[in-house]
Amino acid sequence: MMSDAELNKVLDQRYFKDHSNDFIESIISKAAKLQQDKADEFSTILRNIIIPEPRLTLTLCLAASFLTGIFSNLTLESNLFNEISELMYYGGELL
Amino acid sequence: MPTEINNSELMDMEDDELLKEIKLGNQKAFAILVKRHSSRFYAVAFRMLGKQTDAEDVVQELFLKLWSKPDIWQEGRGAKFSTWFYRIITNRCIDFQRKKKPDQLLENFDIADKSNVEEDLDKITRHKMLEKMLLELPERQRIAINLCFYQGISNKEAAEIMEINLKALESLLMRAKKTLKIKAAEINLEEVTV
């Protein structure tokens, strides 16, 4: 049987292939691209929130005014149902 | 107002400090960490997978994961960054190997690739025989050999990477060497290597 030294010699001769020349730079550049993609994605989300479509803006405004109406009616303890139906009526007219 | 850290300061930083910068999105810190360690990490992956492209893919995938989710590295858990990263590379390579059949694994070792076409056939045969012997070792023994033999990793660090104690690692190495000696004698590997 082989000695330890002989076995070590066999193992030392094990085949090895170095990494490609652009391996390290490729990791770094892919990380930079990932960061850029993340930044782009974030700005797209932000843009969609700030400048949504006109119809969506109008709907959101109506929903906001509707909710404000309910809130003020509740605090004033007036006739809630009348006020809601009035808001819905004007909302529908606007749409 | 935070002061920007220059390249020379980053170069002098320990891994832990670089990782803090990476958590803040510092690309230069990431680049320095990659340049500092990627060759050694690649070597471990290559020893386990035997194919340049696969080894590069594994190391790249894990570095990019660290960049996208730097919180996966948690300082103060006891292990050094390099020990921890060697561990995740080893685990990723094991997953990769388990998905392949033993025959496919041996073929995976790109010993006779295009750059080696003119290589002496005996040398190629010898490499293949050695890889076959190593592939036939139990998984833990193979990992122990890969870590301790080629990367200049101390037995203590190899034990930490494998999350076992030093005695257990030494026992794995001893058993692996014993098996390898028997197999080498069976196929007369020592004769081919001289």
Mean pLDDT by 10 residues, chain A (95 residues): 81 86 94 82 68 70 77 61 71 68
Query: Which tokens hold the place of A30?
Result: 């892919």
- ipTM for the whole complex: 0.80
Long-range contacts of A72-81 (CB under 8 A, 24+ apart): none
* Chain B residues within an 8 Å CB radius of A11: 130, 145, 149, 180
Name the residue facing A31 among B30, B46, B177 (closest C-beta). B30
- Of residues B184 and A38, more confidence is placed in B184
- Of residues A74 and B62, more confidence is placed in B62
Shortest CA distance from A38: residue in chain B: B68
Burial class from Cβ neighbours inside 10 Å (0-12, 13-18, 19+) for residue B27 reads: middle
Distance from the A53 Cα atom to the nearest Cα atom in chain B, whole angstroms: 32
**Residue written as token pair 């082989």:** A2
DSSP B136: T
pTM summary value = 0.73
Instruction: Please report the domains of chain B, with CATH numbers, ordered by start residue.
Output: 1-102 (1.10.1740.10), 111-194 (1.10.10.10)
* Chain B residues within an 8 Å CB radius of A24: 34-35, 38-39
